[in-house]
Structure 1
Amino acid sequence: MIREDATIDAGELYDVAAALGMSDQQVRLCIKRLVAEGRFTQDGRGRQAILRATEPTRSAIEPDLDFLRYMYAQDRGQAAWDGRWHLAAFGVPESVRQARDAMRDTILRLGGAPIQGGLYVSANPWEDRIRSAAAGLGVDDHVTTLTSTDLTIGGLTAGRDLAGHLWPLDRIADGHRRLLAAAERYLPELRTASHIRRLTIAIALAAEFTHANEPDPLLPPQLLPQPWIGTAARAAAAACWAELTKTDAAQSIRLFRWYSPVLG
């Protein structure tokens, strides 16, 4: 809901929240908490208020556009796999458990799959991000990265067999099916929808897009069942974003600006 000038129109916020099943009281409590946490400031009261995102909020909410670009490049056949597996291992001492847990969470968020204790694998280059995360957590001395074209796990050597063993592809595909169904349902409606309805659809679609793609390790086509439902789902979402950019609003929401150059 944040617009180009980093503000949110509270009236629009209440209307969109109502369309998504939230009560006015829930919205008021959310606003109060966000202001108390220093994430927004508020000018005015109730539906006449303007919320302004603080600098920490503005810098924290922008999506990872490099991740989105790579995702769509793969879908278009512009990011060929070189057959290399990228591995990361870490053995962080118990004395810095918080850093160890954060390192593990980072690796999983980057699409890594656990092989065995402290050893993870990805099909995509991730070394720079792994090293950056390790340095930021102060555990770079305890992290190892390497690549291999010869990976065998429990007797499995074929790429698709390994991928099916390492990642929950059926569950990931289910998320993409929900995204595809939502995008196909929303696209015809967007062409005639009101401003508030378009905002509501944008938020619902962004949530579905996140739900589908956060657990997706972005495996290359050689490792996936074909045709892969994720490709169709992301293409349908891109069509919706393209339609959403056709707005006459004086202040379009930032979501459109962030996504449209990547998805369009």
Structure 2
Amino acid sequence: MTEHIEIPTRMLVHALIREDATVDAQELYAVANTLGMSDQQVRLCIKRLVADGRFTHQGRGRKAQLHATADTMRTLAPNADFVRHAFRQDAGLAPWDGVWHLAAFAVPESARTVRDSLRETLVHLGGAALQGGLYVCANAWEPYVEEAAHRLGAHGALTLLTTTDLRRGDAREPAALASLLWPLTEVADRYHRLSRLTRPRLARLTDATALSPSALLTLAVELAAELTRAMEPDPLLPPELLPRPWPGTEARELIALSWAALHERDGGEARPALFRLYADITREAAERAAQTGRNAPRRG
């Protein structure tokens, strides 16, 4: 029996945003019901999202249409950038240049909300705290950090710098530093879970059994949810800084094969914007894997 995947209702709504920034309520309720969510659960989630300014709402019930706000749509692009970068790393196309990227800020207590938001953003972008107000990342994150600082009104309090000489105590070897600064065991466990949950869904997508459009969309939502869960805490460290073998590589390969199979099943018809972004990225990765003889998923 395929292991159940728990999907927050808010994540489902975000996953079903189409390229015109709309969510069709009929489709939303249908997929939600397939995933075991009640209509009341969906209605309450929509109400909260509208109240939070994430969506506007037209119509009633299953005939309604949600419109994602500009801020909501803006969050899709960076996520796609990170997924694309991860697959480039897996393919050996993004070698590390040995540069550490640092960001420091000094925001007063009177602007605690801004300070907390900037701190959360730096961690989300793959940063690790070195000490109060000083964060480090192994990737060139400056455009994302500056965009966030401008948006929060804290750009004047931000300092950016790079170095090739980073030490913590006696640790200075890059891989040793990475193991000290980031929770790599937790991240690896999430990728092991992603692989475990993806394999049976890939089997469903690649066998000869017919699948309805609703079933295909449900599988896509489940895969997107688990990929998001795995990648959210992942700092996307270069392979040179990670334990080998790194479970994220295999998990993303399985996801790439699943999305390639999904693309074949639905004929490339219109799908939510997030899926189209992920599908394009992972299909390219699957094609690279096939060309290099890595198209058969590894067991472990």
Given the two structures, how large is their TM-score scaled by the length of structure 1? 0.89
Match of 2:104 in 1: 89
Match of 2:232 in 1: 214
In the superposition, relative to structure 1, how do residues 166 and 257 fare at CA in structure 2: closer, same or farther (>3 Å)? same
* 1:244 and 2:262 matched: yes
Aligned-pair Cα RMSD in Å: 2.3
* 1:231 and 2:249 matched: yes
Match of 1:200 in 2: 218
Aligned-residue offset at 1:262? 1.5
* 1:145 and 2:160 matched: yes
Given the two structures, how large is their TM-score scaled by the length of structure 2? 0.79
In the superposition, relative to structure 1, how do residues 32 and 105 fare at CA in structure 2: closer, same or farther (>3 Å)? closer
Paired letter, 1:30: C
Name stretches of at least 5 consecutive residues in structure 2 with no aligned partner. Answer: 1-15, 284-300
Summarize deviations over 1:36-80 as a string: whole Å, max 9, x none.
66614343x544x14242553763452422222211111111111
Question: Identity over aligned residues, as a percent?
Answer: 51
Match of 2:88 in 1: 73
Paired letter, 2:93: Q
Give the Cα–Cα distance (whole angstroms) in 2 for the partners of residues 27 and 131 of structure 1.
36
Give the Cα–Cα distance (whole angstroms) in 1 for the partners of residues 188 and 243 of structure 2.
10
In the superposition, relative to structure 1, how do residues 60 and 114 fare at CA in structure 2: closer, same or farther (>3 Å)? same
Match of 2:57 in 1: 41
* SS of corresponding position for 2:196: helix
Match of 2:76 in 1: 62
The question of whether the paired residues in 2 share the 8 Å contact of 1:35 and 1:42 is answered with: no
The question of whether the paired residues in 2 share the 8 Å contact of 1:112 and 1:217 is answered with: yes
Give matches, 1:120-159, under 5 Å.
120-159=135-174
* SS of corresponding position for 1:100: helix
Paired letter, 1:59: M
Between the two proteins, the alignment pairs up a number of residues equal to: 262
